[in-house]
Homo-oligomer: A and B are copies of this chain.
Amino acid sequence: MLVLENIHLELETGEKKVPILNDVNLEFEAGKMYALTGPNGSGKSSVARVAMGIYRQTKGRVLFDGEEISELGISERARKGIGYGFQHPPRFKGMPVKDMLELAMKYSDNVNCQVLRDIGLCPDEYLERTLDNSLSGGEIKRIEIATLLAQNPRVRIFDEPEAGIDLWSFEQLINVIGSSHREDTTTVVISHQEKILNMVDEIILVEDGTVSMRGSREEIWPRIKESAECSCRYSCQLGGEIYADCPR
Q: A: which residues have CB within 8 A of B?
A: 98, 102, 105, 111-114, 116-117, 120-125, 127, 136-138, 162-168, 170, 193, 229-230, 232-233, 235-240, 242-243, 246-248
Contact A239 B123 (CB under 8 A): yes
Contact B230 A120 (CB under 8 A): yes
Q: Which residues of B contact A166 (CB under 8 A)?
A: 163-166
With a 10 A CB-CB cut-off, give which of A138, A170, A237, A240 has the most chain B CB atoms.
Answer: A240
Contact B120 A246 (CB under 8 A): no
The smallest C-beta distance from A149 to any residue of chain B, in angstroms, reads 12
Whole-angstrom CA separation of A168 from B162 in the bound complex: 11
Q: Which residues of B contact A127 (CB under 8 A)?
A: 239-240
Q: Which residues of B contact A170 (CB under 8 A)?
A: 167
Whole-angstrom CA separation of A240 from B96 in the bound complex: 12
Q: Which residues of B contact A138 (CB under 8 A)?
A: 164
With a 10 A CB-CB cut-off, give which of A102, A138, A193, A242 has the most chain B CB atoms.
Answer: A242
Q: Which residues of B contact A239 (CB under 8 A)?
A: 123-124, 127
Contact B168 A230 (CB under 8 A): yes
With a 10 A CB-CB cut-off, give which of A167, A232, A233, A243 has the most chain B CB atoms.
Answer: A243
Contact B136 A237 (CB under 8 A): no
Q: Which residues of B contact A236 (CB under 8 A)?
A: 117, 122-125
Q: Which residue of B has the minimal Cβ distance to A124?
A: B236
Having A113-B246, A124-B236, A168-B229, one finds 11 other A-B pairs with CB under 8 Å, namely A113-B248, A114-B243, A117-B233, A117-B238, A121-B232, A123-B236, A123-B238, A136-B137, A163-B166, A167-B167, A167-B170
Q: Which residue of B has the minimal Cβ distance to A245?
A: B113
Q: Which residues of B contact A113 (CB under 8 A)?
A: 238, 243, 246-248
Q: Which residue of B has the minimal Cβ distance to A101?
A: B242
CB-defined A-B contacts under 8 Å, sample of 6: A114-B238, A117-B233, A120-B230, A122-B230, A122-B236, A167-B193
Contact B167 A246 (CB under 8 A): no
The smallest C-beta distance from A201 to any residue of chain B, in angstroms, reads 23
Whole-angstrom CA separation of A164 from B232 in the bound complex: 20
